[in-house]
Amino acid sequence: MPHRIHKTMGQQSGRRSWAEPWKIKMVEPIKMIDHPAREKALDAAGYNTFLLRSEDVYIDLLTDSGTNAMSDRQWAGMMLGDEAYAGSRNFYHMEEAVQKYYGYKHMVPTHQGRGAEHLISQALIKPGDIIPGNMYFTTTRLHQELAGGTFVDVIVDEAHDPASLHPFKGNIDLGKLEALIERVGAGKIPYVSLAGTVNMAGGQPVSMANVKDLRVLCDRYGIRLYLDATRMAENSFFIQEREDGYQQTPIAAILKEFCSYTDGAWMSAKKDNLVNIGGWLAMNHQDLYEKASNLVVVYEGLHTYGGMAGRDMEAVAIGIEESVQDDHMRARIGQVRYLGELLTDWGIPIVEPVGGHAIFLDARRIYPHVAQDAFPAQTLAAQLYLDSGIRSMERGVVSAGRDPETGDHRYPKLELVRLTIPRRVYTQAHMDVVAESVKAVYDDRHNVKGLRMVYEPAYLRFFQARFAPIG
């Protein structure tokens, strides 16, 4: 038998290999459960991957939220928690980190992102208001609606096309926004809700040119501009890579420049900021700061802890600094891209270009024979779990929920399954296992009929809805 010469991943692509800028100091064992046990677990979970027990999961790609591996510096910081009720020194570290890296004047901590969404929505939105933004996010839109507002999507059309290779599919369509402002009047728009990157569009970025133009437009009409900065460090990587004039600019500087065109931001620190829990709301305007730091006392805790322990605020402060390092971000997005490239090479439809935090499988193109009423993406996530114990998440008609006016399903153009990659957690070998399982499910696509919903909760139904197989 001829001797086979093995090749490293880099060599297979005709380049030198790269590796993560860290080594592993502690491990958490995981195990795979067999097919009959996976069938039982999925049935018990009502075919909803959110309802699976984590110990029944082999590789957990449900979310990148709070699933990050913290560094030794962050764990050491946890030991320096100042658990004072008021004025904890960790609060001041976190405030300094937000000021230094995001550039905003004031910061109010919250227990996680939706705590900050709640505060900004209650502080600024009046019943009947309109909030334009670059595609909805589930919790963001719900808080805007609960405050009496209506979210209006003004993202570029390319964002709704999973095959479009536009480099900044997260951009706001300024024409659509201006037409909306002219139609409803600037007085009805408390702020523009800009997210970088755009989660529901596949982790797609917003360009620096777009936020600059947006600032000019908002100023012309006297409208504020607030940012969902949850994955803004990842967004900054794409600007460095794709936008003219930024190739030599460090991610930290790009992040700060981008934020400088906005009036403030809300943050789920559980993503970019590399922690397991936490969030914040930051702003330049004194009036919003006063309202938010008063409201936070009602809903989260005193304005110097906002529902977080001192140790958790310390971990956020250190995580912010680590998250903007170019090496970290190259490895983070490089790993997501590695998985995406395997799948596209094998002809499996995914959202392109690959975004920052996840691979989004295009369930519409994988199961063209399954109607949207039979929940193709929910079905695909269930099939993937059955095949290998890999947990993913539906981002389609179930996540979109119902129209509060008509009560009908909202039918989003995108019907996706998200394979979300936690930061600093899995290896390249895990990505290979994931890719092979997706391929096995794809090859079996003709044998799948879809699901029906058998239980639907009132709010954010994707978290708790239950399903059963059709036929």
Ligand X SMILES: Cc1ncc(COP(=O)(O)O)c(C=O)c1O
Nearest distance in Å: CB 206, ligand X: 12
Residue 91 designated active-site: no
Question: Residue 298 is encoded by which pair of tokens?
Answer: 């009602």
Which of 49, 112, 236, 420 touches ligand X (CB under 6 A)? Answer: 112
Nearest distance in Å: CB 393, ligand X: 10
Residue with tokens 């290999």: 17
Nearest distance in Å: CB 179, ligand X: 25
Nearest distance in Å: CB 346, ligand X: 28
Residue 238 designated active-site: no
Q: Identify residues 156-215 at the interface with ligand X (CB under 6 A).
A: 195, 199
Strand partners, 265: 227, 282
Residue 182: how many CA atoms within 13 Å on its side-chain side?
Answer: 7
Q: Does position 114 bind ligand X by CB under 6 A?
A: yes
Question: In this structure, are residues 78 and 251 in contact, taking their beta carbons and an 8 Å threshold?
Answer: no
Cα 264 from Cα 193, distance rounded (Å): 10
Catalytic residue selected from 38, 114, 141, 395: 395
Nearer to ligand X, 91 or 226 (CB): 226
Q: Does position 153 bind ligand X by CB under 6 A?
A: no
Which of 65, 68, 262, 437 touches ligand X (CB under 6 A)? Answer: 65
Nearer to ligand X, 111 or 430 (CB): 111
Q: Does position 77 bind ligand X by CB under 6 A?
A: no
Catalytic residue selected from 60, 129, 173, 228: 228
Nearest distance in Å: CB 384, ligand X: 20
| Chain centroid offset of residue 260 CA | 22
Q: Does position 270 bind ligand X by CB under 6 A?
A: yes
| Chain centroid offset of residue 430 CA | 21
Nearest distance in Å: CB 164, ligand X: 20
Binding-residue total with ligand X (CB under 6 A) = 14
Q: Does position 235 bind ligand X by CB under 6 A?
A: no
Residue 408 designated active-site: no
Residue with tokens 């919250």: 110
Residue 138 designated active-site: yes
By CB under 6 A, which span of 6-14, 108-116, 382-390, 417-425 interacts with ligand X? 108-116
Other C-beta atoms closer than 10 Å to the C-beta of 403 total 11
Quick check: bond before 197 cis, omega within 30? yes
Cα 136 from Cα 155, distance rounded (Å): 9
Nearer to ligand X, 270 or 291 (CB): 270
Q: Does position 355 bind ligand X by CB under 6 A?
A: no
Cα end-to-end span (Å), the chain: 50
Q: Does position 141 bind ligand X by CB under 6 A?
A: no
Question: In this structure, are residues 275 and 97 in contact, taking their beta carbons and an 8 Å threshold?
Answer: no
Nearest distance in Å: CB 27, ligand X: 26
By CB under 6 A, which span of 51-59, 111-119, 179-187, 293-301 interacts with ligand X? 111-119
Q: Does position 268 bind ligand X by CB under 6 A?
A: yes
Which of 46, 77, 113, 264 touches ligand X (CB under 6 A)? Answer: 113
Nearer to ligand X, 106 or 418 (CB): 418
Catalytic residue selected from 85, 411, 459, 463: 85
Q: Does position 49 bind ligand X by CB under 6 A?
A: no
Nearer to ligand X, 84 or 277 (CB): 277
Catalytic residue selected from 67, 138, 262, 304: 138
Nearest distance in Å: CB 30, ligand X: 23
Break the chain down into helix, strand, coil percent, rounded to 5: 45, 15, 40
Nearer to ligand X, 412 or 450 (CB): 412
Cα 152 from Cα 465, distance rounded (Å): 25
Cα 68 from Cα 438, distance rounded (Å): 23
Catalytic residue selected from 38, 114, 224, 271: 271
Question: In this structure, are residues 111 and 278 in contact, taking their beta carbons and an 8 Å threshold?
Answer: yes
Which of 67, 71, 74, 140 touches ligand X (CB under 6 A)? Answer: 140
Question: In this structure, are residues 78 and 314 in contact, taking their beta carbons and an 8 Å threshold?
Answer: yes
Question: In this structure, are residues 258 and 208 in contact, taking their beta carbons and an 8 Å threshold?
Answer: yes
Residue 271 designated active-site: yes
Q: Does position 137 bind ligand X by CB under 6 A?
A: yes
Transcribe 42-101 into DSSP letters. HHHTTT-GGGS-GGG-SEE-S-SSS-PPPPHHHHHHHTT----SSS-HHHHHHHHHHHHH
Residue 403 designated active-site: no
Cα 121 from Cα 131, distance rounded (Å): 10
Question: Residue 278 is encoded by which pair of tokens?
Answer: 């936490």
Residue 449 designated active-site: no
Q: Is 175 exposed, middle or buried (0-12, 13-18, 19+ CB in 10 A)?
A: exposed
Say which residues have a Cβ less than 8 Å from residue 175's Cβ, sequence separation at least 6.
Answer: none
Which of 132, 279, 376, 422 touches ligand X (CB under 6 A)? Answer: 279
Q: Does position 238 bind ligand X by CB under 6 A?
A: no
Question: In this structure, are residues 130 and 303 in contact, taking their beta carbons and an 8 Å threshold?
Answer: no
**Residue number, nearest CB to ligand X:** 113
In the complex, which residues of this chain contact ligand X (CB under 6 A)? 65, 112-114, 137, 139-140, 195, 199, 228, 230, 268, 270, 279
Residues with active-site annotation: 85, 137-138, 228, 271, 395, 462
